[in-house]
């Protein structure tokens, strides 16, 4: 099994508990220490508790087609050191993508494939580690 990078911490913000459990297990097998948060409030409480290497957040944290996850993006972008930030969503419209990048997201990933999430996360982590800002082809 491919490991991302050794000893990296990830805050995974996902309101669907079974999906969060699957993603946590999948990413943990790839070398990440995954800490789940199941809603906006717990995500915002956990963010300042440690220097996260990455934050992956669902866009809708209520099941009511909200964009609460963008608040997680904005808060994570203010963290020092700044983590890699990915929005993981099933509704990545052009407006959502633009808003996410404007607030500091490194990437927006469509839900569906944990392997794709893992690859894009690894790419963002490597870019951050080498002094980059995430995906080089992201819209400005």
Please give the mean pLDDT across all residues of the chain. Answer: 89
State the virtual CA torsion across 66, 77, 96, 92 in degrees, nearest 10: -90
Residue 72 has pLDDT above 80, yes or no: yes
Q: How far apart are CA 80 and CA 103, in angstroms?
A: 15
Element (H, E) at 102: helix 94-103
Q: For residue 109, what are the β-bridge partners?
A: 88
What CATH code would you report for 8-129? Answer: 3.40.50.2300
For residues 56-68, give the mean pLDDT: 89
Q: How far apart are CA 136 and CA 63, in angstroms?
A: 31
Query: Domain residue spans in the chain?
Result: 8-129
Model confidence pLDDT, tens digit, residues 84-128: 999 999 888 899 999 999 999 999 999 989 999 999 999 999 998
Going by their DSSP bridges, the two strands 8-13 and 32-37 should be labelled as parallel
> What b/e string do you get for 67-96 counting C-beta neighbours within 10 Å, with b at 16 or more?
bbbbbbbbbbbebeebbbbbbbbeebeeeb
pTM (2 decimals)? 0.88
Closest CA to 3 of 122, 125, 129, 132: 122
């Amino acid at each position: 099994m491919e490991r991302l990078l050794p000893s990296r911490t990830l805050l995974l913000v996902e309101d669907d508990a079974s999906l969060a459990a699957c993603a946590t297990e999948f990413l943990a097998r790839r070398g990440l220490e995954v800490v789940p948060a199941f809603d906006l409030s717990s995500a915002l409480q956990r963010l300042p508790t440690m220097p996260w290497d990455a934050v992956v957040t669902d866009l809708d944290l209520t099941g009511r087609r909200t964009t609460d996850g963008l608040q997680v993006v904005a808060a994570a972008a203010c963290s020092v050191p700044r983590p890699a930030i990915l929005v993981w969503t099933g509704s990545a419209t052009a407006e959502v993508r633009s808003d996410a990048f404007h607030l500091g997201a490194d990437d927006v990933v469509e839900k569906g494939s944990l392997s794709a999430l893992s690859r894009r996360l690894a790419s963002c982590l490597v870019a951050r580690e080498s002094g980059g800002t995430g995906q080089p082809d992201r819209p400005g």
